[in-house]
Amino acid sequence: DTGVSQNPRHKITKRGQNVTFRCDPISEHNRLYWYRQTLGQGPEFLTYFQNEAQLEKSRLLSDRFSAERPKGSFSTLEIQRTEQGDSAMYLCASSPGRVPDTQYFGPGTRLTVL
Amino acid sequence: AQSVTQLGSHVSVSEGALVLLRCNYSSSVPPYLFWYVQYPNQGLQLLLKYTSAATLVKGINGFEAEFKKSETSFHLTKPSAHMSDAAEYFCAVMLYTGGFKTIFGAGTRLFVKA
């Protein structure tokens, strides 16, 4: 069990650029979650996968955000045409799928949009 | 709408004193409730979770929480604070809405004074 890993750990980009983050969950975990966390706030739910199926997506997620989990293993989160308001920590978590579900969090990717 | 409220963004206690971190939730259905902890420069990790098996839940590092349905509360306590308990604590509720969605509170930062 190597834990949940996220890459990159830090990303600095200019407004308008596209960015992509990767999350590698704990092997055999069939659920994968993405969250966004800003300073002084708790993690904000973005989306959730059961294997490769995206089952829930926050209404707060604009069309500029997209997430995939093509083979039910790793996942990517892409943000198109980044805005300064996208600056945050993006967290990934995975879980084995037993209710109630304990989520195992990765270290996060910190995005700074200049 | 479902929500989680953590009273007090900062709590300061002396080493050896009682720790009490407050959490209230609103949910139209019986929830699953969690407390997560985030140590400096580390990812979130589970402290404890309420599974409806028992209203008093014991977690790691001497923490426990009591589910009180009548008060819609899930407060976190520890009889005697240790310096190593200094961290940010998040209360969360998990709901099933076709997929699993977790809503986190804003967090409470615990300071422990020597």
Give the tens place of pLDDT for each residue, B29-42. Answer: 777 899 999 998 88
Cβ-contact A43, A31 below 8 angstroms: no
Asked if A107 and B43 come within 8 Å (Cβ–Cβ), the reply is: yes
Cβ-contact A65, A78 below 8 angstroms: yes
Confidence band (pLDDT; 50, 70, 90) for B1?
Answer: low
Q: Which residue in A31, A45, A104 is closest to B103 by CB distance?
A: A45
Cβ-contact A65, A81 below 8 angstroms: no
**CA quadruple A44, A28, A75, B42: dihedral sign:** positive
CA atoms of A95 and A33, how far apart (whole Å): 8
Confidence band (pLDDT; 50, 70, 90) for A40?
Answer: confident
Mean pLDDT in residue range A11-16: 97
Cβ-contact A52, A78 below 8 angstroms: no
- Tens digit of each residue's pLDDT (9 = 90 or more) over A58-82: 887 778 999 999 988 999 999 999 9
The count of residues in chain A is: 114
Question: What are the CA-CA distances from residue B85 to residues A29, A61, B21, B57, B66 (Å)?
Answer: 29, 34, 12, 18, 19
Residue B88 has pLDDT above 90, yes or no: yes
Residue A111 has pLDDT above 80, yes or no: yes
Q: Is residue A40 less than 8 Å (CB to CB) from chain B?
A: yes
Chain A residues whose beta carbon lies within 8 Å of the beta carbon of residue B105: 42
pLDDT for position A1: 55
Asked if B42 and A107 come within 8 Å (Cβ–Cβ), the reply is: yes
